[in-house]
Amino acid sequence: MTLPRNTSTNADIREARNELGARLRDLRRAAGLTGQRLADLLSWVPSKVSKIEHGRQSPTVDDIRVWCRAVSDETAMEGLLADLNTIETRYQEWQRIMRGGLGQVQSAVTRREQETRIFRGYQSLIVPGLFQTPEYARGLLEQSGRVWTQGEGVEEAVTARMRRQEILYDPSKKFRIVLTEAVLLYAICAPEAMLAQLDRLMSLSMLSNVRLGIIPFERRTALAPEHSFWVYDDDLVLVETVSAQLNLQQQQEIELHTKVFESMALDADYDQKARAVLQRASKQIAARITAEKG
């Protein structure tokens, strides 16, 4: 069973952009202006007006301000800017987030984690940042650096990520993490470093405030989520895609992701059973090392 498609966050954001564009289009029409005429007044190419009105391009704050002035309706400006802020808060493109460098991204995450008491995380592909070894983190951050041309900030980001992990030893915080067995076997770094990463998971699974669950390959799950996600307390859901970070704060979004997390958590193995899955993965990686040397 997969999640219903009509719960897609990307679709929700597209709809919000469409609605914002439609409101701007209504203002233009009410002013008796054609798209060409508005573009002329604003010294824009006509295609920009069309893209904004049809939700294919998000307007900037300045775009909305000059639009409202051009149609002589500044009373609508405050509401339109509030809607734009909501969209930008929910959908943050990595290209924009990465402008400050990899280290700054880690600092922003640190602030959010310091405010959180209960962490619920489902990861299907990678080890969570809070649980990563330096070598594993470096492997991931180097990949991000290659995509976003931020390679010079990798070491700073690795140091910041390791510093973030201090909160794991704060007894006031609770961590409920569910991983698939696949997470343990993806070659994010060298095989020897992957073995160290699994040892790290083994140790963290014994912390009193960490509940680490692992879903083995052979387990048939009630749900098969299409992506990894995090739920911070009951206030925020974070979903990372290839191009953007989604920050979801609507109650129905939080409730849906919490429900899915609890379903996945029921299907996971814990304690000794989870450590047995970790040991199985370690043996497979050790076999890879032997085969490569042979």
pLDDT tens track of the chain, all 294 residues? 333 333 444 556 677 788 899 999 999 999 999 999 999 999 999 899 999 999 888 888 899 999 999 999 989 998 898 778 766 666 554 445 445 555 555 666 778 888 999 999 999 999 999 999 999 999 988 887 676 655 567 888 899 899 999 999 999 999 999 999 999 999 999 999 999 999 999 999 999 999 999 999 999 999 887 789 999 999 889 887 765 677 787 788 899 999 999 999 999 999 999 999 999 999 999 999 998 887
Residue 291 φ then ψ, to 5°? -65, -40
Q: Which residues pair with 247 in a beta bridge?
A: 238
Considering only CA atoms, which of 216, 264, 20, 291 is closest in space to residue 120?
264
pLDDT at 94: 43
Count of CA atoms in the C-beta half-sphere (13 A) of 220: 1
pLDDT at 106: 61
Estimate to the nearest angstrom the gap between the alpha carbon of 44 and the chain centroid: 34
Q: From CA 8, how far away is CA 281, in angstroms rounded? A: 33
Query: Is-contact 46 57, C-beta < 8 A?
Result: no
Q: What is the pTM of this model?
A: 0.69
pLDDT at 267: 96
Q: How many CB atoms lie within 10 A of CB 262?
A: 14
